[in-house]
Structure 1
Amino acid sequence: MFSGSIPALVTPFRDGAIDESAFRALVDWQIAEGSSALVPCGTTGESSTMTVAEHNRVVAVCVDQAAGRAPVIAGCGSNDTRIALEHMFAAQAAGADAALVVVPYYNKPSQEGVYRHYAYLAERCDLPIVIYNVPGRTITDIGVPVIHRLTQDFQTIVGIKDATGNLGRVTAQRLACGPDFCQLSGNDETALSFNASGGRGCISVTANVAPRLCAEFQAACARGDWTGALALHDRLYPLHDALFSDSSPGPVKYALTRVRPDMPGDVRLPVTWPSESSRAAVDRALEIAGLV
């Protein structure tokens, strides 16, 4: 259903408010540069700092501006199952193509609790669901047996954004869930190996800043040009690393102001503007990638 370079879009803020005109410009640029789908209101979009109304508005603006030119996978996750369902209904009403639903964080649910969270959502809303597994942030890791069970029980569980960093999971999940289960990397730095193991693309932080290079990298992987993909991976790797040299999305918002001076760099607390050393690392990486 989804493949290629899929940016986890930043949300432009200006003077504490969402800058809708800047966000629309970002969506247009991403599509023009070759991004194959868009993810508003993910982790990089600072969804955890938004009100429900702001969250749903950003999704609606993204869908409206994309206007069918690229699929929209709307961030709909919450540690409150009922709020996640509210987000799914709102995303569906706005015209989103799927929901990205993170494994519930903070609550530390059991594997049965994780299963019931996704089952509750799938039973009540038929918007396709892409599971988002990022145990480094949520603490809880959804196990392969639960993913398999969900795909057997619900046709709308269509894929996973895997940010475990465990490349063995790509094979384990493919064998458990079948070749049609859409696996997308959640980590730019391991996307090459992830794709070689059977992945179909990446929900990317770096694509915010280097959408064309990330799209070219994913296209090389898709056609089996591993030599070309490796060259692009090496060119982008310092940027993948630098964008997490301070609390995300601070560094990527700084990088975006370097590449697109029309984009505001404001972040919302508790995220802060990146440190001087982080900004220097981003500057070096942008030069290596040939973006400045």
Structure 2
Amino acid sequence: MTKLRGIIPILPAPFTDDGASVDYADLRSIVETVIAEGAHGVALLGVASEFYKIDDAERRLMIETTVDQAAGRVPVVVNITRNATELAVKDARHAEEVGADAIMIVPPSFIPPGSAAIIEHIHAVADSVKLPVVIQYAPNVTGVSIPVSAFLDIERQRGGELYIKAESVPPGPLLSAIVEQTEGRMGVFIGNGCVQMYDSLERGAAGMMPGAAMVAPYLAIYDAFVRGDKATAFRLFNDLLPVLNHTTQAAELFVQFEKTILKARGVIKSDVCRRPNAVPDEAMRTMLRRYSDYMKERFGAPLMP
């Protein structure tokens, strides 16, 4: 039986104004904010965390800070992103040692080694800890394609909690195949800003892993769906969709918009992303401000107070 569920936002990495350091006080502020809003868990060191711009010491301290701030109130999921199996195993063991509740494994993507080696990597990292495992599958980002049959083979070979974060485009067919063919034993989460959230819930998704800046709207949709009020969930999702369409146009833009919103809300002090980064032009920023007012009308609170 799967236990991770609901809305588990990916935490951004808040930096100082010069981008030189991670602001760990602001990281604590983000964790506290999303827990107070009702998030069912937190995840970090994903694409939305700019994991590819974080050094080893920062990575370790971000995990330790997040686990400490969460204090057992919600599960903490840690992304394992190394291309080398030996390094990924070390990272997974560190996450377990400091109190993470689950790991999420990104298949090796730089000079992809082939399906057999990727599956071997996933097994080696998963076997190194006694934690629930999420496999992040984002072929549009990593360039690594894995057939549905491979995920089903992994599920058959493994015991314990196993999930996939489906970020293929579209995610629906993969989600349905896994839910149906594992009879729900393998839970499926959706990423990519969750722009297919409602369809995914209808197909049996265990939950969503969106960004951390707009947790409340996602929760409103999810809560309405699980209590059986699908009409409200569908309406709220379609209210949110134009905002997602604007903020998720590119990964780096999404990270920047996340931080801009969190700064405007007073959750973090700086919305700096480490270079090289995407910079929205003034028209995009103006549209974000328009959507701030729109969100106040539709959900009762502006994006940027």
Query: TM tier, shorter chain?
Result: over 0.9
The aligned counterpart of 1:63 is 67
Amino acid aligned to 1:250 = Q
1:181 aligns with 2:186: yes
Contact 1:13 1:264 in 2 (8 A): yes
Q: Matches of 2:185 and 2:282 in 1, distance apart? A: 45
Q: Matches of 2:228 and 2:169 in 1, distance apart? A: 22
Q: Name which of 202, 216, 223 aligns with 2:220.
A: 216
CA gap 1:107/1:217 in 2 versus in 1, 3 angstroms: same
Q: Matches of 2:161 and 2:277 in 1, distance apart? A: 32
Q: Matches of 2:176 and 2:267 in 1, distance apart? A: 41
CA gap 1:255/1:242 in 2 versus in 1, 3 angstroms: farther
Q: Matches of 2:143 and 2:48 in 1, distance apart? A: 18
Query: Aligned to 2:78, what secondary structure does the other structure show?
Result: strand
Q: Which runs of 5+ in 1 are unaligned?
A: none
CA gap 1:98/1:131 in 2 versus in 1, 3 angstroms: same
Query: Aligned to 1:18, what secondary structure does the other structure show?
Result: coil
1:276 aligns with 2:282: yes
Q: CA-atom RMSD, angstroms?
A: 1.6
The aligned counterpart of 1:6 is 8
The aligned counterpart of 2:243 is 239
Q: How high is the sequence identity, in percent, across the aligned residues?
A: 24
Q: What are the within-5 Å matches in structure 2 for residues 193-232 of structure 1?
A: 193-205=199-211, 208-232=212-236
Query: Aligned to 1:75, what secondary structure does the other structure show?
Result: strand
Contact 2:175 2:205 in 1 (8 A): yes
Which consecutive aligned stretches of 4+ in structure 1 deviate over 6 angstroms post-superposition?
none
Q: Matches of 2:182 and 2:232 in 1, distance apart? A: 30
Contact 1:185 1:191 in 2 (8 A): yes
The aligned counterpart of 1:26 is 30
- Normalised by the length of structure 1, the TM-score is 0.94
Shift of 1:255: 2.2
Query: Aligned to 1:160, what secondary structure does the other structure show?
Result: strand
CA gap 1:102/1:235 in 2 versus in 1, 3 angstroms: same
Q: Matches of 2:90 and 2:283 in 1, distance apart? A: 40
Contact 2:140 2:169 in 1 (8 A): no
Amino acid aligned to 2:9 = P
Contact 1:79 1:107 in 2 (8 A): no
Compare 187-196 and 105-114 and name the one that shifted more: 105-114
Contact 2:15 2:21 in 1 (8 A): yes
Query: Aligned to 1:13, what secondary structure does the other structure show?
Result: coil
Contact 1:151 1:157 in 2 (8 A): no
Q: Which runs of 5+ in 2 are unaligned?
A: 297-301
CA gap 1:230/1:106 in 2 versus in 1, 3 angstroms: same
Query: Aligned to 1:100, what secondary structure does the other structure show?
Result: strand
